[in-house]
Amino acid sequence: MSRTTLTRRGRLAAAGLAAAVAVAMPYAATHAAEPDRPAATAGKKPSQHGQIVSLMRHMSLPQKVGQLFVIEVYGRDADNVSDAAKAGNQKLYGVDTPAQAIAKYQPGGVIYFTTRGPDNIGDAAQVATLSNGLQRAALRQRPKIPLNIAVDQEGGALVARFGPASGATQMPGQMALGADGSTVDAARSAEVIGTELAAVGVTQDYAPVADVNLNPNNPVIGIRSAGADSDAVSDIVAAEVGGFDAGGLSSIAKHFPGHGDTGTDSHYGLPEVTHSREELESIDLPPFEAAIDAGIDAIMTAHVTVPAIDPSGEPATMSEPILTGLLREEMGFDGLIVTDALDMQGASATYPPDVAPVEAFLAGADQLLIPPQMDTAYAAVLDAVKDGTISRKRLDESVYRILKHKLDNEIFESPYVNAAAAPAVFGDPAHKADAQAISDRTTTLVKNDDDLLPLAPGPKDVLVAGWGVDTTAGIAAGFQKRGATTQVLQSGTTPTDAQIDAAVEAAAGKDLVVVPTNNAWQINPATGQPTPASVAQTKLVKALLATDTPVVVAAMRNPYDVTSFPEAATVLDTYGYTSHQLESLVRVLHGEVDPSGKLPVEIPDLFPLGHGLSY
């Protein structure tokens, strides 16, 4: 994609907007002038445009500001929550329940979480009931505007709020899909995720990840990306947009303009993308353009600086040249722009709670996700509109987009879901079968120097030693189903010398050792040296390689682990550790599945992108 292409697209979009018909009917004296009708709706949905205009006429200024925010709430029910959830809601909002938070702010959306504290997600029926309760709370207000209910469900084991305990199908993640290389599988994976989320009342998924992971030491993206080849990532992302749509869910591509070549985690710092404009156009931007061409509803910003676009050093989330100049004007995107969470250090360390939301909105964002201090953020945006820092016209443009998004996705028409039917959707056997079949096409055989694989038939005595309680147990269970006797020695991400010695001792007399690793290559960017976990896991692998027992090393997360022990003869990459990926690994080891996954990234100095062995 060239700069000429972007500029031409931007000119066309601008021309379309200029040609849009301005509606002559004025607002009441307390409202700003009515926004121009976006080019995307001109001549197509006059009834929808009229509905949006009518809604906006009946909205107060505080209600419009409320629509900009996407908040978290504590608890598994809208009205009846635990004491711990009450404490969480009190701390954030000064209220007891999620329903009361909705009534207080009338936000445009809510995001579900599990581990960070809100504890929103149990099983399918519970989440569906929570969603219905939140929508009921929103629709008690006047005018009646339903919520966007969002979640991070990227697929894979890394960013999956609906984990195995929820009963949701665990589809493989982005890098696994990149190893598969099938757009059909990518679309089906997104469709399954979308179908299940829609069944429990979720309306938006913060997926697909559109980042191109060029940096092996990227601490925050890694297997969340489909790979290092921009064209391949673009194909996967475009297919997923269609898949989510087929599943009845709105998707959000992230993290614009690209978080794949960074060495800092934006949850804890502010990364810099050092790509030139030409590199951005050839590497980082094409997947987002592909998402736009596929009809993506929304794009999420990245808390990264991009000097080639904005030399001021503003994070993309707060950068008008990036959000308005590049994304809106040059790339012609007129959907929702959603900030990444404003409580992340990439935003909050630089901008105070009363500054971040205003700056992000002025830069071009429509939805402000999880401000660290909601009262402060809400008041700051409201005051900025009142004093003219944010124009009424600019506010109305975003409110229009948010309402249009909800109408386009039929949230007004169908805000509630059937909670009794949701468990059957989560438990659909076809979903589980597809998850396994797709996972079987992702496992990559990197090395098979001793022709150990596929394993010879017959009973075996197997040691599974290395990272992950569930991972080691799952691999052992797979061997047991095939008649093996197994011993499990789980040693976490940083095995101790005692654990390493125990594994070496246990390997004596075994027929096979399987060693799952998790980032056994990782470098501390501050020191340039391997992390303690990398050092310890490498020591474990090398100690086991020194025994007389055949060893299979399985990199369960990022595929770069082999660089720490290139002498290992048998190495596989799974790009994740869902139950289906563990089963796929065992199937490949036994020759029940011919490995077909190809490396979607380069392993520096060892293996090129596209490498992968088969039987």
pLDDT digits (tens, 9 = 90+) for 415-472: 999 999 999 999 999 999 999 999 999 999 999 999 999 999 999 999 999 999 999 9
Q: Are 371 and 41 in contact (CB under 8 A)?
A: no
**Residue 258: left if φ>0, alpha if ψ -120 to 50, beta else—which one?**
left
Q: Are 62 and 31 in contact (CB under 8 A)?
A: no
pLDDT at 259 (0 to 100) = 83
Q: How far is 490 from 299, CA to CA, in rounded Å?
A: 40
Token pair listed for 16: 């379309």
Q: How far is 350 from 315, CA to CA, in rounded Å?
A: 9
pLDDT at 272 (0 to 100) = 84
Residue 78's contacts (CB-CB under 8 Å, 6 or more residues apart) are 97, 98, 99, 102, 130, 132, 133, 134, 136, 137
Q: Are 106 and 66 in contact (CB under 8 A)?
A: yes
C-alpha to C-alpha distances, 614 to 453, 591, 593, nearest whole angstrom: 10, 10, 10
Residue 407 one-letter amino acid: L
What DSSP designation does 213 have?
-
**Beta-carbon-side half-sphere exposure of residue 529 (alpha carbons within 13 Å):** 5
Residue 91's contacts (CB-CB under 8 Å, 6 or more residues apart) are none
Closest CA to 9 of 328, 276, 231: 328
What do you get for the CA distance between the two ends of the chain, in Å? 38
**38-45 own/partner pairs: CB under 8 Å, 24+ apart:** 38/334, 38/400, 38/401, 38/404, 39/13, 39/334, 40/16, 40/334, 41/404, 42/16
267 classed as catalytic: yes
Q: Are 255 and 301 in contact (CB under 8 A)?
A: yes
Residue 611 one-letter amino acid: H
Q: How far is 135 from 149, CA to CA, in rounded Å?
A: 9
* Buried/exposed code over 377-412 (b: 16+ C-beta within 10 A; e: otherwise): bbbbbbebbeeeebebebbbbbbbbbbbbbbbbebb
551-555/570-573 β-pairing: parallel
SS3 state at 569 = coil
Q: Are 200 and 128 in contact (CB under 8 A)?
A: yes
Please pick, among 31, 79, 123, 267, the residue that the annotation labels catalytic.
267
Token pair listed for 604: 């520096």
pLDDT at 345 (0 to 100) = 67
Token pair listed for 426: 């989560």
Q: Looking up tokens 């794009």, which residue turns up?
A: 299
Token pair listed for 329: 């004007």
Q: Are 318 and 339 in contact (CB under 8 A)?
A: no
**Beta-sheet strand order (sheet of 461-466):** 444-448, 570-573, 551-555, 512-517, 461-466, 485-490
Residue 315 one-letter amino acid: P
Q: How far is 125 from 419, CA to CA, in rounded Å?
A: 5
Residue 309, H or E segment? none
Cis previous bond, 164, omega within 30: no
Q: How far is 151 from 249, CA to CA, in rounded Å?
A: 11
340 classed as catalytic: yes
Q: Phi and psi (nearest 5°) for 53?
A: -60, -40
Q: How far is 265 from 504, CA to CA, in rounded Å?
A: 35
Q: Are 470 and 207 in contact (CB under 8 A)?
A: no
Strand locations in 312-384 (E)? 336-338, 368-369
What DSSP designation does 74 have?
-
pLDDT digits (tens, 9 = 90+) for 531-581: 999 999 999 999 999 999 999 999 999 999 999 999 999 999 999 999 999
SS3 state at 33 = coil
Q: How far is 357 from 365, CA to CA, in rounded Å?
A: 9
SS3 state at 182 = coil
Burial class for 372, CB neighbours closer than 10 Å (0-12, 13-18, 19+): middle
What parts of the chain have a pLDDT lower than 70? 1-46, 219, 261-270, 345-348
Please pick, among 36, 96, 297, 340, the residue that the annotation labels catalytic.
340
Residue 246's contacts (CB-CB under 8 Å, 6 or more residues apart) are 187, 190, 191, 194
Residue 169 one-letter amino acid: T
Q: Are 432 and 583 in contact (CB under 8 A)?
A: no
**Beta-carbon-side half-sphere exposure of residue 284 (alpha carbons within 13 Å):** 28
Burial class for 31, CB neighbours closer than 10 Å (0-12, 13-18, 19+): middle
Q: What is the pTM of this model?
A: 0.90
